[in-house]
Structure 1
């Protein structure tokens, strides 16, 4: 199927399709989300046994630790994806071992003015960079943060993860179920939140006949 034929670095071993993915983060939620998304998308698309090989890199986003707005958050995801690609290629001399895809995932916030009181919304941007130097992007769903988190983030200048730990009295929540997991009683955890967006970002490789490879470099 076209979805798996577009990547020259993808290898086959005794009928098994191997896809190498570099993730621009050491956060286990993001790493697991990348594995799940690629396994679920390409196992169906290829209709063959699939092995997704993940490598992770703690790379900078190039944006503030707490991004605000779509432009800043999307740029952070792009920077992470490109940096992960470069890090993977620099440590592997053989081009056959270079990643087929590199992924950046960036959580962001958006402040919305309303007559009664300003609101703070949480979302994420995902960027996928291919070995062919083409891009795929997607934005997650968004959800409203409660006033206690608003106060700590906006008035105290905290990152959402740190504010979450204080409000909900837990430790390193952004490496666990995340704020979305707490607010939905675990029905949508942070990993699943990213998986959905990653699948959307992979649409151009599922439907290459409908998308031009236009985002070079």
Structure 2
């Protein structure tokens, strides 16, 4: 049995990973362990990739799982607009690495202002929408789209995309 370790205990990330494994019809054991990302609480731009990779590396070291998976949400200023997205990074214990990014979405200026004052996106969302702990539920994207797209939905596709070289190699002996 293949064990995949997720570098988070966030229920949204765990449920998104479970759904991705279900979509792929992979009966792998999943464990979630909180590990350090090595980046700021609210990473910007390239630090999002660094944080996701660090989570994957750290969780595989701590658990000795077959696959380490890190998910890191970040924001970046692109052409004068702040966008949010997530990076999903996977590493096997043999050293195969891959990553994918989620769809991105622009952030309203009210959120950007709070983020630039040092708040995480989740904190900014909670303040603006007068909710609590949205990052463990629908996330900023769910609040902004009235749950047409929620945080879990945003993560499933990049998890599948990050994992494809691993499951193709393991199941179909297709080299990456």
Check whether TM > 0.5: yes
Q: Secondary structure at the match of 1:125?
A: strand
**Equivalent position of 1:144 in the other structure:** 106
Contact kept in structure 1, 2:5 and 2:69, CA below 8 Å: yes
Structure 2 residue 129 is the aligned partner of structure 1 residue 153: no
Could you say if the C-alpha distance between residues 160 and 39 of structure 1 is closer, same or farther in structure 2, counting changes exceeding 3 Å? same
> Matches of residues 96-175 of structure 1 in structure 2 within 5 Å?
99-113=65-79, 118-154=80-116, 156-175=117-136
- Per-residue deviation at 1:210? 5.9
Q: How many corresponding residue pairs?
A: 172
Contact kept in structure 2, 1:34 and 1:103, CA below 8 Å: no
- Give the Cα separation in 2 of the matches to 1:207 and 1:34: 17
Moved segments of 4+, more than 2 Å = 205-211
Contact kept in structure 1, 2:122 and 2:140, CA below 8 Å: yes
Higher Rg of the two aligned structures: 1
Question: Can you give the 5+ residue segments of structure 1 that lack an aligned partner in the other structure?
Answer: 1-10, 12-18, 44-49, 90-98, 212-217
- Aligned pair partner of 1:185 in 146, 152, 166: 146
Structure 2 residue 18 is the aligned partner of structure 1 residue 52: no
Judge which range, 31-40 or 175-184, deviates more.
31-40
Question: Can you give the 5+ residue segments of structure 2 that lack an aligned partner in the other structure?
Answer: none
TM-score (norm 1): 0.75
TM-score (norm 2): 0.91
**Equivalent position of 2:42 in the other structure:** 66
**Equivalent position of 1:78 in the other structure:** 53
- Give the Cα separation in 1 of the matches to 2:157 and 2:27: 20
- Per-residue deviation at 1:111? 1.2
**Equivalent position of 2:14 in the other structure:** 31
- Give the Cα separation in 2 of the matches to 1:186 and 1:100: 34
Contact kept in structure 2, 1:178 and 1:189, CA below 8 Å: yes
- Per-residue deviation at 1:35? 1.3
- Per-residue deviation at 1:52? 2.7
Q: Secondary structure at the match of 2:60?
A: helix
RMSD (Å), alpha carbons: 1.5
Structure 2 residue 156 is the aligned partner of structure 1 residue 195: yes
- Per-residue deviation at 1:56? 1.2
- Give the Cα separation in 1 of the matches to 2:19 and 2:66: 16
- Per-residue deviation at 1:54? 1.4
